[in-house]
Structure 1
Amino acid sequence: MTDVRPLSGLALIAAALAIGTGNFMVVLDSTIANVSVPTIAGSVGVSVSQGSWVITSYAVAEAITVPLTGWLARKFGALRVFIFCYLAFGLVSVFCGMSQSLGMLIAGRVMLGLCGGPIMPLSQMLLMRIFPPKQATGAAVLWAMTTLIGPIAGPILGGVICDSFGWQWIFFIKVPIALVGGVLVFSLTRGLSDPRGPARIDKVGLALLVVWVAALQIVLDEGRNHDWFASREIVILAIIAAIGFASFLIWELTDDNPIVDLKIFRYRGFSAAAVTFAGGFGAFFAAIVILPLWLQQNMGYTATWAGYATGIMGILALISAPIVGKASETIDPRLILSVGILGLGAMTAWRMTFNSDVTFMQMAWPTLFTGPFMVMFFVPVTGLAISCVGPEEQANAAGLSNFMRTLAGAFATSLVQTGWANQARVNQTELVNAMPHANEVVAGMVASGTPYDAAVASLTRMVEHQSVLLSTLNMFGAITIVFVVAAMLPWLIPKPKGPIDTTAGH
């Protein structure tokens, strides 16, 4: 990493923007499909719950490659790996956009996640490498802003593109950006040092990681469609996940060069920070998955307006980001983190007041005010995690906390949709049981001139609509509880002795 000739002038600006765009594109991809799931599911002829694999497959694949980034950088060179993944991301996006079936699209999303996983940590590393030391703060700010803007812009861009051009274009639009960005990085950084060296990979640990994560994700995604453990396939997959996870823990704790250094959990502060990050992000991601699904399936919103409803949080997030970053230098970051998570919980609890007549503006207010609390959560959490470990373990700590965060987002997506569907069925049964005079209602509608079949269908739709609304409120309640629990965990972290690095490894 040393003796690297820093770029200057326009070349430095162009290279920084190209590298930052790569990070933005990968982070954007984690949310750009959220509002498009109903459209994609309808296009390829599957249910919305099956369509959610478009989200989870990308997240799981991305999570699995995060621990591989260090080995890839040592083996092939950080710059080479970054450029390869950048260009491959664009090419695989073509494959995703051309998909004619769910299986083909999921395969493409898995490949996108595998390409995108290394881009986030390597983009940060390369920005710090090409900038002169005196301008390192500028590099950190650029990287942090692309990381923050990506998930905010995703739902808005996804909705507008899906409604205006078709869901395929949420993938096609990234192709020229990735190809141009990758070529620019290659051209501008040619001649810069890109050291390589001996690198050993924990093949057994990697295999076990893939097995238990994939098996568990399939159980979470498909369990509700196969009556859970009444299905032999689900039982077998659950057993594989359990045995794989146990074997993974044993192997990683005893191997000399583990792919995931679990021994870092010996630090109480890191454990608390990493679990806070995973729990808080899982709850946050569950909320921004379920909200657009409910708006489109039950409130009649288009993908565009569902995207506006989700992405509006970005307005105050961007305004508050520098303020929170500055405050982290003087205020206990544990307090900022805890207040941020409680604020996210409060905004989610606010949504529990929604009813079937809620207007866009009434629904937008809690989403708008989510922005500052989101920044208070994301800014200090990884810095707190790495401040609790030794200098030689900080890279592993950042990688492990981000692995847990990404995996939590995938698992939360599956869990919240399972809970949503289950609660809708329970609520529908309860509503029907609470309507002893349903026949009289239908008879009244028929007497007023409505055909019998149309009257029954109208009453059924009304019950289904209300059951899904109640289910959505139930999920907001469950998410609120997770936020409240997560907000307590930062106080298990030892108080930092000085300012933390608020841009480390997000």
Structure 2
Amino acid sequence: MSSDSAATNPPAAAAPAPAAAGFAPPNRALTTLGLTLASFMQVLDMTIANVSLPTIAGNLGGSSNQATWVITSFAVSNAIALPLTGYFTRRFGERKLFVWATMAFVIASLLCGLATSMNLLVGARALQGFVAGPMYPVTQALLLSVYPPNKRGQALALLAMVTVVAPIAGPILGGWITDNYSWEWIFFINVPIGVFAAMVVGAQLKGRPERTEKPRMDYVGLFTLVLGVGALQTLLDLGNEQDWFHSTEIVVLAVISVIALAVFVIWELTDKDPIVDLRLFRHRNFRAGTIAMVAAYSAFFSVGLMVPLWLQRNLGYTPIWAGFATAPIGILPVILTPFVGLYAQRFDLRWVASLAFVFMAATCFMRSEFNTLVDFRDIALVQLFQGFGVALFFMPVLTILLSDLEPHEIAGGSGLATFVRTLGGSFAASITTWYWNERTTVHYAHLTEAVQSTQPSDVALVGQLGGGNTTAGLERLSQMIAQQANQIGFNEIFHILGWLFIFVIAVVWFAKPPFTAKGGPGAAAGGH
């Protein structure tokens, strides 16, 4: 059956079993709170430790390179676990997987806070990243299953808001906790939140009918996935630091990654019981929605990475003030999310997503006109304006990519889409940083050539800058040229990002309605 016909006329097998159709949690609001709290906690931990790395390294006697592995170990193990979500849900069921993963996340967080060396902390973060992998996709599947069809858009919009707000709140909250208490508490705060979420969801969804199997373990798929993704994520994290392919280590990682992932894809597409179901891409909407999500999220991730770096590197902002300047991006998503969830599905979601990308592109083009004299208000206003696009971005695209999956494919599809999106973000971070540095170097050379040290006007300028001291004046001039070169490179990248968002609009229109997510087991619950 083609994906188009499946979307238009869902087969009978897609309908929940009679027992599942009658299931509803005793308290849907409490269930939603537990699910979203766990997801917020997990997404928050992807960024909360970033600003605390110097403090952590100092307290545990680690180097700056070791400190970066606090982030890298989480990212690598998280990327490996994400595509395994489908296998885990088939084996254990969505409710059990959520409760076990959340409690394991609590234990890993406790181990992070109790770590007495950098090696122990990196190991605990790797465990934390792995068990966090299934949490977001399973939360998505469970949320869809406990809401009736006409309210699933609101559920996805709520989860989308968490996805946007948590990474923004992470650095600010992490900096505040580290400054006012101690770095250990950025991990300890997960303990009560995680225990509460696991207990609430476990109790509320007790007795929820679930489809479980005992699939054969695909050892070849698992081995090539771990090897390929681990090597690729490590390559992306270390690329800029190691000067990319000028480093033997990076070349070796690239070769390992390409070979392992090529074998993985071929094996998974031909194996009868693959550990990651790549055949989900046969669905038209899943394919188009995932491509749109990856491209748009990569551009969005690049914006979130570059703006704080630019504020600190070019304009001299402190980390906390860079956080305040970028934070307005979360205001409109928080305010508008309930309305997007309530009303967006009254329209063609392709138009809603297109409008989001128009706003995102517009803000990128605005930043491409920034200069070194731009003030805090203008920066914050552009961030606020972008928030309107963000509010309209995640829910429509998530709904589109899940719309033609069968109920039992939701968790696996969400995990696969999140995995590809995460890799897209990693690629974007590495490529953007590298390209910014490259363009800065090029523009520095051009600007330096334009300054003729023998010209009387230039000699006078150097003297003024150095207060009569030529050496000091030349050093000051070099700093000014470097700042301008950095700014030009920044502007160029945002011009490119703006056109990338325009491109994503075309991708979204390859999807075909209807765009109603079917939900997992118990999808009809509460629909009466």
TM-score clears 0.5: yes
What per-residue deviation string (whole Å, max 9, x for no partner) do you get for residues 409-451 of structure 1?
A: 122122222222222222322232222228826851487355x
- Let me know the Cα RMSD of the aligned residues: 3.6
Give TM-score, length-normalised by structure 2. 0.81
Pick from 94, 102, 105 the counterpart of residue 86 of structure 1: 102
Shift of 1:130: 6.5
For 1:86 and 1:390, locate their aligned partners in 2 and report how far apart those are by CA, in whole Å: 25
Deviation at 1:15, TM superposition (A): 4.7
Answer whether contact 1:158 1:304 (CA < 8 A) is retained: no
1:257 aligns with 2:273: yes
Amino acid at match of 1:46: S
Whole-Å Cα distance in 2 between the matches of residues 503 and 236 of structure 1?
A: 43
8 Å contact kept, 1:155–1:310:
no
**Gap change, CA 1:377 and 1:55, over 3 Å in 2:** farther
Name the CA shift for 1:26/1:415 in 2 (closer, same or farther; >3 Å).
Answer: same
CA positional deviation for 1:41? 7.8
Q: CA deviation at 1:35?
A: 5.5
* Residue deviations 1:338-384 (CA, integer Å, cap 9, x gap): 22123212111111122112111111111101112112221111221
**Which moves more between the two structures, 119-128 or 346-355?**
119-128
Structure 2 residue aligned with 1:234: 250
1:481 maps to: 499
Quote the residue 1:411 is aligned against.
427
Counterpart residue number, 1:440: 459
Determine if contact 2:46/2:74 at 8 Å carries over to the other structure. Answer: yes
Structure 1: segments with no counterpart, 5+ residues: none
Counterparts in 2 of 1:72 and 1:433: CA distance versus 1, 3 Å: same
- Aligned-partner residue type, residue 480 of structure 1: G
Deviations 1:288-314 (A, max 9, x none): 012112222332222222222222112
1:203 is aligned to 219
SS at 1:328 equivalent: helix
The worse-fitting range, judged by mean Cα deviation, of 145-154 and 197-206 is 145-154
Measure how far apart 1:73 and its partner are.
3.0
**1:15–1:188 CA contact under 8 A, matched in 2:** yes
Choose from 109, 112, 120 the match for 2:128: 112
In the TM superposition, 1:334-483 aligns within 5 A as 334-389=350-405, 393-437=409-453, 440=459, 444-445=463-464, 448-450=467-469, 454-483=472-501
Higher mean alpha-carbon deviation, 336-345 vs 71-80, is at 71-80
Deviations 1:248-267 (A, max 9, x none): 12101101112222223334
Q: Deviations over 1:186-238 (max 9, x none)?
A: 56667777775423332211221222222222333323333333332222221
Structure 1 contact 23–123 (Cα < 8 Å) conserved: yes
Question: What per-residue deviation string (whole Å, max 9, x for no partner) do you get for residues 111-157 of structure 1?
Answer: 22212111112234445667799987886665455445433433442
Q: Which runs of no fewer than 5 residues in structure 2 stay unpaired?
A: 1-16, 521-528
Q: Which residue of 1 aligns with 2:7?
A: none
**8 Å Cα contact 1:202/1:259 also seen in 2:** yes
Q: Distance in 2 between matches of 1:324 and 1:153?
A: 22
In structure 1, distance between residues paired with 2:464 and 2:216: 73
**In the alignment, which residue of structure 2 is the partner of 1:219?**
235
Which amino acid in structure 1 is aligned with residue 478 of structure 2? T
For residues 290 and 56 of structure 2, what CA distance do their matches in structure 1 show? 33
1:59–1:409 Cα contact (<8 Å) kept:
no
1:212 counterpart letter in structure 2: G
Structure 1 residue identity aligned to 2:319: A
* Alignment CA distance shift 1:273-1:456 (3 Å): same
Letter in 2 for 1:444: G
1:331 pairs with 2:347: yes
| In structure 2, distance between residues paired with 1:258 and 1:271 | 19
Indicate the percent of aligned positions where both proteins have the same amino acid. Answer: 38
Task: Report how far residue 287 of structure 1 moved.
Answer: 0.8
Deviation at 1:185, TM superposition (A): 4.7
How far apart, CA to CA, are the structure 2 residues paired with 1:402 and 1:23? 13
The separation in 2 between residues aligned to 1:486 and 1:444, in whole angstroms, is 51
CA offsets 1:313-344 (integer angstroms, 9 cap, x no match): 12111222233334432322112112212321
In structure 1, C-alpha distance between the alignment counterparts of 2:193 and 2:78, rounded to whole Å? 20
Distance in 2, Cα, partners of 1:470 & 1:340: 27
The question of whether the paired residues in 2 share the 8 Å contact of 1:289 and 1:413 is answered with: yes
Q: 1 CA distance for matches of 2:104 and 2:411? A: 25
Distance across 1 between alignment mates of 2:320 and 2:78: 26
Q: What amino acid is aligned across from residue 365 of structure 1 in structure 2? A: L
**How far apart, CA to CA, are the structure 1 residues paired with 2:394 and 2:26?**
31
One-letter amino acid of the structure 1 residue matched with residue 320 of structure 2:
T
Separation in 1 of the partners of 2:67 and 2:518? 35
Moved more, 94-103 or 399-408: 94-103
Partner of 2:300: 284
SS at the partner of 2:240?
helix
In 2, Cα distance between the equivalents of 1:125 and 1:178?
19
The separation in 1 between residues aligned to 2:504 and 2:80, in whole angstroms, is 24
Contact 1:33 1:55 in 2 (8 A): yes
Higher relative contact order (CA 8 A, sep 6+): 2
Q: Secondary structure at the match of 1:492?
A: coil
Give, in angstroms, the shift of residue 272 of structure 1: 2.1
Q: Deviations over 1:49-95 (max 9, x none)?
A: x9666555434432322222232234344333322322222332344
Instruction: Work out the number of aligned pairs and report it.
Output: 497
Q: Report whether the alignment pairs 1:66 with 2:66.
A: no
- Given candidates 305, 310, 321, the residue that maps to 2:326 is 310
CA distance in 1, matches of 2:337, 2:223: 39
Looking at structure 1, the residues matched to 401 and 151 of structure 2 have their Cα atoms a distance apart, in angstroms, of: 25
Moved more, 465-474 or 350-359: 465-474
> CA distance change for structure 1 residues 152 and 188 in 2, over 3 Å: closer, same or farther?
same
Cα shift readout 1:5-40 (whole Å, capped 9, x = no counterpart): 75536xx65454233211111122234345556777
